Structure 1
Amino acid sequence: MSNVNCSCCGAIAEVHKTVNCCICDKAFKIDCVNISAAEARKIHTKHSGLNYTCKNCVQLGNNITDLKKVIVELQNDIKTLKSTVLDQQSPNSPASLLEAEKIVQEVAEREKRKCNIIIYGCKEDNVKSNKEQIQLDETVVPKISLHIKC
């Protein structure tokens, strides 16, 4: 008969007085894992359908089950986020229409200002109307043009 070391207590035991974990394949004395000799014989029989799983592998299995649940929850969250993003990107969604309106306003503003001249160092007055701005420009521009050598 061959002997093996028990993974639980480290003692040497005869193979027929041990069971192996069906996951990690470590050997355990039947006394350490509270299994009877009859149960061990059934586990050793290949066609019995019985097997032994050690405490560490059972705990690992529980952790894996918990991780699977977390993964499923995360996958559902991702699906929800994707559908939310797709809804916001649809051409008829309020967010898309608002963004399109902002772009149209920006293009119109750029078109309106395309002929503007920026003069650095010149004080900018806050005026309330276009008419006031034109009157101010008509007084400031001639003064500036006196200082420019063309």
Structure 2
Amino acid sequence: IEMATQPWKSCFRDELFIGKVALVTGGGTGIGRSIATELASLGATVVIASRNVEKCEKAAAEMNASLQKGPGKVVVGPSVSIRSEEEIQNLISHIVETYESLDLLVNNAGGQFVSPAEDLSARGFAAVVDTNLKGTFLVCREAYTQYMCDHGGSIGKFR
């Protein structure tokens, strides 16, 4: 209990990601939000993206307010469904054109239905597969083909 009241101290070197650009899908809530905040606190420009731009804008404002003055910041990308190949292409293009880089990709967006298998419809199952498997593949492929194949970068998957 005592540790919970102590200030947060990152295990990473200060300013580790200065000058780096990161994309965190599903970065407005939960684990994605925590990852986005940590990357920004270490100096990265972090683009958070999801289907709900308003939620991301509110989250980005809160994250930026919580960050101490420094080079890192959280910004909001265009609305994107990771199940839409065209929207993913537009998101990655926007990041590369705006920031001239995409050094880190954190695939965090995902979804599921909390129900017994016998209650899950084929359509519901397809939505989960399209989001968690196909969506992750599409984001990775687009980040790689539009930037990382020529410049390098790192990709992580959470969820």
Q: Which TM-score band applies after superposition, normalised by the shorter structure?
A: under 0.3
Q: TM-score, normalised to structure 2's length?
A: 0.18
Higher strand share goes to which structure? 2
Higher helix share goes to which structure? 1
Larger radius of gyration: 1
